[in-house]
Amino acid sequence: MNGSFIEVWRPTRIGVNEVVRRSVGPLSLWLKRTSQEWLLATRRVPEEVGWGPPLPGAPEPHEDEWLRWTAGDETSMFRLLPVMPNRPVVLRPESTLAVPPTRQALLFVEIPIWVRITAGAELRFVLREEPTVVLPRTWFGDLASGELCYALTTRARRSVSPADARIHRAVCPVRVQNAWTAPLEFDRLCVHVAHLSVYTAAAQLWTNEVRVTFRGPDDPCQVDYAEGAPSAETITGILGEPRAPTTRSLLQRSFAGLWGFKQL
């Protein structure tokens, strides 16, 4: 896995009329360059039915599956980059989590990445962004002023095992601090992933750490997006820049528990 894991994110040269095939988990991409155009086709298999790189004899996309971009022949390079989803992600632990008063918990959440396909001079021309897994959409907040998010059911593990590494998911460390006087019980946690970068380690993608401080059900949470890579991991470099960089502490409504969604 390591070889292909690193390879897939490297800039690649493509000849005229050559077709290059790449796989990022359930997402398969075909890229083709002519003297005047870039062409891209994508296919996705449901994550739960199993996935892997397309078989060598797998048929090429049909004509109507290709998307075309007019471009000059100034470059023959393209690159795939991992980025976070384009909307906040509502994390739903498989069972309700509770954090005692004045305590904190570090959770590891695997978020399916999006793939940004770039080409052109200095690889600045973004052809497209494709999700590796199409997450269901959900609403976080009240009906009048909430926000549209993706829903992600997670095991919210307390540790990371290399055996669970998957090329199309980035591990996001979420540190939950309960600064309230009562236990924090929640079954929804909204993370604004637009503020997260994507880093690469040996065989796993990582994001920077999210620190959420809960100060009571009536107050917004204080959310900090740590600068730099998570310290516990052997990070080899940054691959994906955040969509909306921030260095400030943000006040955001982040949790929904037994008191939260009843309002809906």
Partner 1 sequence: MWMSAAIEWSEVFKGTTVRTVIVAVLIAVAGYALLRSASALAGRLARQRLTPQATMLVRKMIFYIGAVILLIVVLQQVGVNLGALLGAAGIAGIAIGFASQTSLSNLVSGIFLISEKPFAVGDWIQVGGNNGYVLSIDLLSVKIRTHGNQYIRIPNETLLKAEVINISRFPLRRFEFMVGVAYKEDVARVLELLFDVARKNHFVLEEPGPLIYMKSFGDSALEFFVGVWHTRTDWEEVRKTLPQEIKERFDAEGIEIPFPHRTLYTGAATAPFPIRIVADAPGSTRGAVPATPPEGAQ
Instruction: Give contact residues for partner 1 (rule: CB under 8 A).
Output: 90, 134, 136-140, 143-144, 146, 148, 151, 261, 264
In the bound state with partner 1, the residue whose beta carbon lies nearer, of 90 and 194, is: 90
Min CB(92)–partner 1 separation in Å: 9
**How far apart (Å, rounded) are the C-alpha atoms in residues 75 and 83?**
23
| CB closer to partner 1, 146 vs 217 | 146
Q: Which is nearer to partner 1, 138 or 204 (CB)?
A: 138
Work out how close the CB of 134 gets to partner 1 at its nearest, in angstroms, rounded to a whole number: 7
Q: Toward partner 1, which CB reaches closer, 159 or 263?
A: 263
CA-CA distance, 204 to 254, in Å (whole number)? Answer: 26
- Min dist CB 178 to partner 1, Å, is 24
Question: Measured at the alpha carbon of residue 156, what is the angle toward residues 260 and 231, in degrees to the nearest 5?
Answer: 115
Q: Which amino acid is at 184?
A: L
Task: Compute the least distance from the CB of residue 131 to partner 1, in Å.
Answer: 12
Which residue type is seen at 144? Answer: A
Kindly state the smallest distance separating residue 137's Cβ from partner 1, in Å.
6
Distances (CA, A) of 102 to 99, 173, 180: 8, 19, 7
**Least Å distance between CB 243 and partner 1?**
20
How far is Cα 226 from Cα 248, in angstroms, rounded to an integer?
A: 10
Please state the φ and ψ torsions of residue 75, each to the nearest 5 degrees. -145, 155
Identify the bridge partners of residue 160 per DSSP, sorted by sequence position.
Answer: none
Q: Which is nearer to partner 1, 58 or 261 (CB)?
A: 261
Q: Which is nearer to partner 1, 90 or 127 (CB)?
A: 90
Q: Which of helix, strand or coil describes residue 173?
A: strand
State the minimum distance, in angstroms, from the CB of residue 247 to partner 1: 29
Distance CA(146)–CA(137), nearest Å, equals 13
Q: What is the dihedral of CA 103, 242, 38, 70, to 10 degrees?
A: 140
As a whole number of angstroms, the distance between CA 40 and CA 33 comes to 9
CB nearer partner 1, residue 149 or residue 223: 149
